[in-house]
Amino acid sequence: MDALEGLVDPETRGNPESPLRWTCKSTRSLAAQLNRHKHPVSHMKVAQLLHEQGYSLQGNRKTKEGSDHPDRDAQFHHINIQVKRALKKGVPVISVDTKKKELVGNYANGGQQWLPAKNPVEVQGHDFPHPDIPRAYPYGIYDLERNTGFVNVGTDHDTGAFAVASIRGWWRHEGRRQYAQAKSLLITADGGGSNASRLRLWKFELQKLVDETGLSISVCHFPPGTSKWNKIEHRLFSFISSNWRGEPLRDYETIVKLISRTTTTEGLKVTCRLDRRKYPTAAR
């Protein structure tokens, strides 16, 4: 038991001198190493002994967010107050972000779906991200008050201009009709990406949107490493991912249809459109 404990102990595993540093998840490798040290044992017995000692196979858990800024709670408190105040006044509040970019083509898509037995969907064996492979950039706008989503699927680049163009599209197609009396707009967004708090192009394009619409636009950026608290992540994007799981995203039209058909028991409705315009990365 001491020899087995020495092989699986976290400090031993992390030691470059450990013979099982990269194979410690395999009971067969553990058994082989024990046999070399004159401890005859099978891999089944190794598994049994590990369970008896409180060990189990575990993956990584994404919980580390780096050191907390002393003002982080105050930032969340401020955002919460601004959102509640805006909603109470009837001011539209939207949560925005870019969903993970997707490869377009007959490639594997995570998840499973119900199909006739022994009749899986056949896809490419490899999905290496070659520059020539088309990509989809779904930029989402989630309306907190109405529980509706608007997704602009870009085909070029995820830039600050693309982000604001997506918000402009939401306002023209839905926002100004639903909030005809609105004079202001509140946006909650991550601190990075195409709507980053320090991205000049994002701010420049937002000012152009203000000039066009006459709206007073305010933006509340979440602190770094806290994107999961943005409402759009778990009220829109998670359901889109669930809706198209196991479905190859063969072309842009398929992506638009799958996003548009996303619904929930809480009444979520999603509008999706395809944006084939060019958004140069070198602009401003």
Written as one letter, the residue type at 141 is I
pLDDT of residue 22: 45
Residues 222 and 73: beta-carbon distance below 8 Å? no
Residue 75 token pair:
């930032």
pLDDT of residue 182: 95
Q: Which regions in the chain score pLDDT beneath 50?
A: 20-23
Task: Name the nearest CA neighbour of 209 among 150, 169, 181.
Answer: 169
Give the start-to-end residue ranges of the domains of the chain.
Answer: 2-52, 72-275
Task: Name the nearest CA neighbour of 271 among 174, 161, 195, 179.
Answer: 174
Residue 38 token pair:
């004159």
pLDDT of residue 246: 73
What is the rounded distance in angstroms from the CA atom of residue 277 to the CA atom of residue 282? 15
pLDDT of residue 272: 97
Instruction: For domain 72-275, say whether CATH 3.40.30 is its number.
Output: no
pTM, whole model, 2 decimals? 0.74
Residues 79 and 220: beta-carbon distance below 8 Å? yes
pLDDT of residue 127: 62
What is the rounded distance in angstroms from the CA atom of residue 266 to the CA atom of residue 102? 27
pLDDT of residue 24: 54
pLDDT of residue 151: 97
What is the rounded distance in angstroms from the CA atom of residue 140 to the CA atom of residue 144? 12
pLDDT of residue 114: 57
What is the rounded distance in angstroms from the CA atom of residue 61 to the CA atom of residue 22? 19
What is the rounded distance in angstroms from the CA atom of residue 159 to the CA atom of residue 166? 11
pLDDT of residue 48: 93
Alpha-helical runs (H) found in 59-118: 72-88
Three-point CA angle 279, 282, 284, nearest 5°: 95
Beta carbons within 8 Å of 249's beta carbon, 6+ residues apart: 102, 103, 104, 105, 107, 109, 136, 255, 258
